[in-house]
Structure 1
Amino acid sequence: RVGTCKIWDTASGEELQSLEGHRNVVYAIAFNNPYGDKVATGSFDKTCKLWSVETGKCFHTFWGHMAEIVCLAFNPQSTLVATGSMDTLAKLWDVQTGEEVATLSGHSAEIISLAFNTAGDRLVTGSFDRTVSLWDVPTGSCVHTLIGHRGEISSVQFNWDCSLIVTGSMDRTCRVWDAPAGKCVFTFSDHEDEVLDVCFDCTGQLIATASADGTARVYSAATNQCIAKLQGHEGEISKVCFNPQGSRVLTASVDKTARLWDVRSGECVQVLGGHTDEIFSCAFNYEGDAIITGSKDNTCRIWR
């Protein structure tokens, strides 16, 4: 049913909870890792809900956005949830009380991606207005606006020590920014079509990009060199992520497959086939020994 989110036991495949209450599509979800006892869901009904993993009970409904919520994240301390919306605003919410803590306004188009740094005192937001904003979480004030992309932003992320921010854009480039200074330090412009997703590995030494040109790439954040070009998908790649060990890259594509790649050689180690429609989401578990994929065929699959 539209508006539901389900929690599954990945070992048995058993459905543990069905979280029902949203009145429209649930578009964004997150666990409060590493604790894993809460789930936040963001919906086209303009609300975000906070749920208990154990009981499936809704703790809070966060009201305040004037349009669809399309991205969200917990801070590392699990005390705040950040939501990004088509209304151009990001909001910070108190997990304990359910109250709105801050409204982060400044973008002139929808916020499509956001991420906390590991300390939880900074939030980065990427918007269709082609800019990226860096926010001070305690005060809710904008520290830097990162200007340079010539197309909508698709994805934003901090590296582990919060010194760098990586951004992907519809302008076919990926940019690396000095977070404290708010300055662009390098632009990767190898892709022949829109960059749809970007990420750091957990050490912050490698960057992966996924593109509508059907390729993904791995770069060194230290040397800005392309280490590997990941070729084999037959359609655009919408998601990319590293395993926790940083030795593998996972990609999800409209060609109905997800692929696992060796970071150093750039070779495809495994093709995960079986979905009957495009795969729009993929992730490793915390240990890195299982993969989950989400598809437009209305199924999620777990791979070991």
Structure 2
Amino acid sequence: MSKHLKVTFQCYVLINCIFWALLLVMRLKRFLLRYYPPGIILEYEQGGQVKTKSIDLLDLASTDDALSIAQNLSLKEPLITQTRIPQVQKLVTKLQEKIGSTGDRQFYLFKVLRAHILPLTNVAFNKSGSCFITGSYDRTCKVWDTASGEELQTLEGHRNVVYAIAFNNPYGNKVATGSFDKTCKLWNAETGQCYFTYRGHTSEIVCLSFNPQSTVIATGSMDATTKLWDVQSGQELSTLSGHSGEIICLSFNTHGDQVLTGSFDNTVCLWDVHTGQQTNTLIGHRGEIANAHFNFDCSLIATASMDRSCKLWDVRTGHCIATLRGHEDEVFDIGFNYTGQQIVSASADATARIYDAGTQKTIAVLEGHESEVSKVSFNPQGTHVLSGSADKSARIWDVNTGECMQVLEGHTDEIFSCVYNYEGDTILTGSKDNTCRIWR
């Protein structure tokens, strides 16, 4: 064998060894679908551990060629081998069928739950929509079965109002509750067992969230701090100090490595979850922050303020891209659709507004409520907006025309919370009349 041929053969053997080693290191176990926003999640095994990675298809259209998309994904993602292309093509087709659904439907009252003996504070679904939770001034959180409306658990132990509540979605097996008693509690959603009581805040807890991996809970308090807690051990990980006013809202980005906090000091701060260090401060509002959210790809933040405006911010630079005007009174709520291309806001001027995130122009003004609008959200498909108002009603609006499609009536006091489930075929409305209503 010539020296050149010998070297070539050795290189061939080495390349093959590396190739098979990589295959052994990363082995695809299965595909999971994420409908809203559309994407494919790869579950794979590496070094004996099961891991996941997401392929986002935010621009997927129902008219796109599914085979071409699958082939392109195979070129970019080593875990998607040639033999997997037909399987990926079928998954893309299923996603296209799902996003092709407009979510058009009439909702009917399914059940009125006289959930608590005192007014409710918040309502929230688990990821599948099979269960939901309600918090209340009666110091409890309750877990409910969506299909039957039956109470499954009463989570008792707080000594004051249970104000902030959340499932650890997408898992849905744990519930976190934040209270005016200055503590947060972590519960088993199925048995009602309390795992931990997180202590350390010196004032009321008014907002909380799990990170997407369900390993960390963030709590925001009237003491102007946010704390990060370890879900597994119950230990405090860090205290995020820097605001000079009460923390009113917080949320993690999609990756879970950043958290934003909005405050009565008129600013929003960005924090590194791993270090607990402040990485940016969004300064520009002239009134208290009411709410703030990342878009899905974590490139933008939308903020709502008592200064009657909304703002759009670049996450990377912290610069304000645009001020979204039009409301004539305080803005209470704000949110993105799943693609991050549209924004909806709710105001004390009795209207909601839809903006284009790219052009920052108003798409539609949602007029019809007779009093302040406190909550708004897009349906999962992004075709409709749900709004809740102090006029005791919730309304469903067409995103493109701004037309009111349906009025959900029957509550006898203001609606403070309203949410869609993951599929967009069930709505919860929570009211100061001490009831929660399920609409289907």
- Report the TM-score range of the alignment, normalised by the length of the smaller protein: over 0.9
1:149 corresponds in structure 2 to 285
In 2, distance between residues paired with 1:23 and 1:72?
A: 18
Q: Does 1:248 align with 2:384?
A: yes
Larger Rg: 2
2:318 corresponds in structure 1 to 182
2:230 corresponds in structure 1 to 94
* TM-score of the two chains, using structure 2 as the length reference: 0.69
In 2, distance between residues paired with 1:245 and 1:39?
A: 26
Q: Does 1:265 align with 2:265?
A: no
How far residue 223 of structure 1 moved from its aligned partner, in angstroms, is 1.3
Q: Does 1:77 align with 2:213?
A: yes
Determine helix, strand or coil for the equivalent of 2:287: coil
Q: Does 1:201 align with 2:359?
A: no
1:52 corresponds in structure 2 to 188
AA at the equivalent of 1:93: W
How far residue 189 of structure 1 moved from its aligned partner, in angstroms, is 1.5
Q: Return the structure number with greater strand share.
A: 1
* TM-score of the two chains, using structure 1 as the length reference: 0.99
Q: Does 1:226 align with 2:362?
A: yes
2:411 corresponds in structure 1 to 275
Q: Does 1:16 align with 2:155?
A: no
1:29 corresponds in structure 2 to 165
How far residue 203 of structure 1 moved from its aligned partner, in angstroms, is 1.2
In 1, distance between residues paired with 2:324 and 2:165?
A: 29
Quick one: which of 294, 298, 303 aligns to 1:167? Answer: 303
1:182-206 C-alpha deviation (Å, 9 max, x unpaired): 0000001210000000001111111
Q: Return the structure number with greater helix share.
A: 2
In 1, distance between residues paired with 2:382 and 2:431?
A: 24
Higher relative contact order (CA 8 A, sep 6+): 2
Quick one: which of 94, 103, 119 aligns to 2:255? Answer: 119
How far residue 225 of structure 1 moved from its aligned partner, in angstroms, is 1.1
> 5+ residue gaps in structure 2?
1-116, 118-137
In 1, distance between residues paired with 2:417 and 2:241?
A: 28
Residue identity (%): 69
Q: Does 1:104 align with 2:260?
A: no
1:165-215 C-alpha deviation (Å, 9 max, x unpaired): 000000000000000100000001210000000001111111000000000
In 2, distance between residues paired with 1:56 and 1:203?
A: 36
2:27 corresponds in structure 1 to none
In 2, distance between residues paired with 1:93 and 1:287?
A: 30
AA at the equivalent of 1:89: T
Q: Aligned-residue CA RMSD in angstroms? A: 0.6
In 1, distance between residues paired with 2:192 and 2:397?
A: 36
4+ residue segments displaced more than 3 Å: none
In 2, distance between residues paired with 1:20 and 1:6?
A: 9
In 2, distance between residues paired with 1:291 and 1:39?
A: 20
> 5+ residue gaps in structure 1?
none
How far residue 12 of structure 1 moved from its aligned partner, in angstroms, is 0.3
In 1, distance between residues paired with 2:196 and 2:396?
A: 38
Determine helix, strand or coil for the equivalent of 2:304: strand
1:41 corresponds in structure 2 to 177
1:72-129 C-alpha deviation (Å, 9 max, x unpaired): 0110001011000000000001111111011000000100000100000010100000
How far residue 222 of structure 1 moved from its aligned partner, in angstroms, is 1.1
1:66 corresponds in structure 2 to 202
In 2, distance between residues paired with 1:208 and 1:239?
A: 10
1:126-180 C-alpha deviation (Å, 9 max, x unpaired): 0000011011111000010100000000001000000000000000000000001
Alignment length (residue pairs): 304
In 1, distance between residues paired with 2:161 and 2:300?
A: 33
In 1, distance between residues paired with 2:369 and 2:340?
A: 26
In 2, distance between residues paired with 1:49 and 1:284?
A: 25
In 1, distance between residues paired with 2:411 and 2:175?
A: 26
